[in-house]
Structure 1
Amino acid sequence: MSETAEHAPEKPEKKRRTFEPQPGFVVQAYRFALDPNSIQEQALRSHCGAARAAFNWAVSWVRASWSQRAAEQTYGIGADELTEWRPWSLPSLRKAFNTVKHTDPRFADWWSENSKEAYNTGLADAAAAFDNYAKSKNGKRAGRRMGKPRRKSKHKARPACRFTTGTIRLEPDRRHVTLPRLGTIRTHESTRKLQRRIGNGSARILSATVRHERGRWLVSFQVEVKRETPRVTRPDAAVGVDLGVKHLAVTADSLGEIRYEPNPAHYDIALKTLKRLSRRVSRRQGPDRRTGQAPSKRWRRANEQRNKVHHRVANLRADALHKLTTRITSEYGTVVVEDLNVAGMLKNRRLARKIADAGFGEIRRQLTYKSGWNNARTVVAGRWFPSSKTCSGCGAVKAKLPLHVRVFTCGACDLVIDRDENAARNLAALAADRTTGTGVAGDQGAPAPKPRGADQKTRATTRSHKATGGRAGGVIPQQRKETRDRQQDTEPPTLR
């Protein structure tokens, strides 16, 4: 480094652009299908491949210092002489990538063919992945424990690229969009819904994301929209939503109205066709990465036909869930849903396929954000709240209620009612009885009950630890401590 560069004044760090909506505005997405030609599709794949390559480089670059320090410690090198930790913040990754992209043989020949936003997408994803890993390791991130970021596979990663700067606009003909370096691409559907909002000044495009999903190229515009809070039809009424397999949802409101939403079962309907197409694919010469065998044309055609059925099922499911959740959130001022253990329910091999086809988690997600749009509230019942085992007439709670018993019979007041309808009534009543300031309803002050007395729908199986002496993995405490100490020596201080 030259003396001039070494003593040059440091440039002030640029503030990161944040998308915080203005008062009266919300940030939402508008997604449109694209119809690119062969040249444009090749450019789209090139941009998405560049984003994946930048992500893999960032992961390898950061973790290389971890491995180097671990190796140096085995040589007896002192702590002060070890290789420095490489930072994973987005500005640091950008600076390092801009330095190596001209000389690294992995990028030197083709990096200039794509927009800078493609590489920024991969670097931003890598920085977010390391941040999530650090927060999860330090106990500051909810959910399952995350592992170290790994490289993305070319064959498994979903192609995606995000644009935040440059020319991003909708064309006046409402059938084309313009993106940086990609040019003007025709859309499969009209963009007039978003074009009208931009024209009257009630919407502003913040970014655009292209991805290949369900056999099509899609573009999603992140838009800041001025949204007038609509009034629901019955703002003072509460509705309980009980999800199930036989009926997708049973709703019961505080006014006594009961509705049974049938389960479309799109996957079960298409299962016979999928089996036939899967047999056809298995009889063709498919790809084999171990031997380098390329798939035949007949295999590609058969696989494309099978994928079209899968894509159609996914589209039908998404359409049905959106219609259901939109109707509920536009009618009631309070929506009560259950905190179902969907991951545990999927472990039931007899019901896993039907539960996955119903989309329980997606229904709750849509009900939550759509209620916020309509100025309504969402109440989440506690996971161990016995909605199905509680009598909606007298409040008596049964000790056991097997899943195959579809009719609830109360031994105290002789009430005979459908099991799902009884659960929906209890959820609707819960909105007025046990609502706390956090929006979570249930037994808030009492200790968590045991899973044995919980509702059958939320019971998750647990593994037995008899073979390990009551300890996960059979590791004695002293061994766990030594393993943890060795791991801390090979990880940055932010992860300790």
Structure 2
Amino acid sequence: MRTRAQAQKVSDLTGGKVLLDKNKPTRKVALAGDFEQYRDALESVSVLFGLCDDTGEKVSTGWTVTGASFEVEWPKDPQLASLVRSHFGARRVAYNWALAKVKSDMDAKRQGASYPSTPWTLEAFRKQWNQEKNEVAPWWGDNSKEAYASGIADLVQALSNWSSSKHRSRKGRKVGFSKFKSKRKDQNRVRFTTGAMRFEDDRRTIVLPTIGALRSKENTRRIQRHLAKNNARLLNCTLSERWGRLFVSCQLAIKTGVVSPSPTATSEVNIR
């Protein structure tokens, strides 16, 4: 699956065995028998997983990931337009809060190696955010929780890129340590992974959590028809501002032909 937590959940649902690497759990689960008997359980956790037979040969999972982007109109209602900008700002607040926490932990760690710093994971930062959000951002309830999760997730990825670059396990240009985001330089964007995300049947309306309905300037048929037939699942939507214009980019998993291993094979699911 995509995470070790998802792999453990799949193991609990199917009775499969989480594979270990150096005595640590991985994102891989070994399943005995025909994979199709486990498909519903796996897809209840995530539709994104890699499937291998007992020889290690990869086979299709039945889903492919694709994306699309649509320009939408800025809301004519001033309050709704202000809400969109508030979500952009909320993402920056959460990013800067988490970065300040990291810097504070690093300074304290230099003074004493036993200092209990916050792990650089989305789960750890979100737990800490929920404990401090009333003091850091008393207005947090005005925006979707995804706005804050989006900022924290961006920092976690940036820290991961910096760490892998520092240890030379990342190819390409050297990645510097994260800097605080400013309204003047940061691109306005916010990503939604849960909540009320949908493409309406009129093929012009895109609904996002808390923000609500936005009018697309182009027909959304290429996405909406798959969702209407239950042949696709929305994974996430990103609302962004570029050149003063507003865009919604979405990523979705679309069902394709299924190729499963033989009934006697042992399936290895690599959740990514």
Amino acid at match of 2:84: L
Residue 39 (str. 1) matches residue 71 (str. 2): no
Cα pair 1:19 1:206 within 8 Å, conserved: no
Q: 1:194 aligns with which of 197, 217, 223?
A: 223
Q: What is the CA deviation profile of residues 399-426 of structure 1, one whole-angstrom value per residue up to 9, with x for unaligned ones?
A: xxxxxxxxxxxxxxxxxxxxxxxxxxxx
Q: What is the CA deviation profile of residues 372-418 of structure 1, one whole-angstrom value per residue up to 9, with x for unaligned ones?
A: xxxxxxxxxxxxxxxxxxxxxxxxxxxxxxxxxxxxxxxxxxxxxxx
Q: 2:104 aligns with which of 56, 64, 69?
A: 64
Correspondence for 1:175:
204
Correspondence for 1:97:
129
Helix, strand or coil: the match of 1:29? strand
Amino acid at match of 2:122: L
Q: 1:25 aligns with which of 25, 39, 63?
A: 63
Structure with higher RCO (Cα < 8 A, 6+ apart)? 2
Amino acid at match of 2:118: R
Q: 2:191 aligns with which of 141, 162, 179?
A: 162
Q: CA deviation at 1:157?
A: 0.5
Amino acid at match of 2:234: I
Helix, strand or coil: the match of 1:28? strand
Cα distance in structure 1, aligned partners of 2:241 and 2:229? 31
Cα pair 1:26 1:226 within 8 Å, conserved: yes
Cα distance in structure 1, aligned partners of 2:222 and 2:207? 17
Helix, strand or coil: the match of 2:134? coil
Q: CA deviation at 1:19?
A: 5.7
TM normalised by structure 1 equals 0.39
Q: CA deviation at 1:196?
A: 1.6
Q: 1:52 aligns with which of 82, 92, 107?
A: 92
Amino acid at match of 2:91: A
Q: CA deviation at 1:138?
A: 1.1
Q: CA deviation at 1:23?
A: 2.6
Amino acid at match of 1:40: L
Bigger Rg over Cα:
1
Cα distance in structure 2, aligned partners of 1:177 and 1:187? 7
Cα distance in structure 1, aligned partners of 2:217 and 2:236? 20
Cα pair 2:48 2:63 within 8 Å, conserved: no
- Tell me how many residue pairs correspond in the alignment: 205
List runs of 5+ in structure 2 lacking aligned partners.
Answer: 8-44, 50-59, 258-272
Alpha-carbon spacing, 1:95–1:122, altered in 2? closer, same or farther (3 Å): same
Q: CA deviation at 1:223?
A: 1.1
Helix, strand or coil: the match of 2:241? strand
Residue 208 (str. 1) matches residue 232 (str. 2): no
Cα distance in structure 1, aligned partners of 2:240 and 2:176? 25
Helix, strand or coil: the match of 1:132? helix
TM normalised by structure 2 equals 0.69
Helix, strand or coil: the match of 1:103? helix
List runs of 5+ in structure 1 lacking aligned partners.
Answer: 1-12, 73-78, 229-496
Amino acid at match of 1:60: A
Cα distance in structure 2, aligned partners of 1:96 and 1:15? 22
Residue 88 (str. 1) matches residue 88 (str. 2): no
Helix, strand or coil: the match of 1:172? coil
Alpha-carbon spacing, 1:128–1:152, altered in 2? closer, same or farther (3 Å): same
Q: CA deviation at 1:214?
A: 2.9
Cα pair 1:40 1:185 within 8 Å, conserved: no
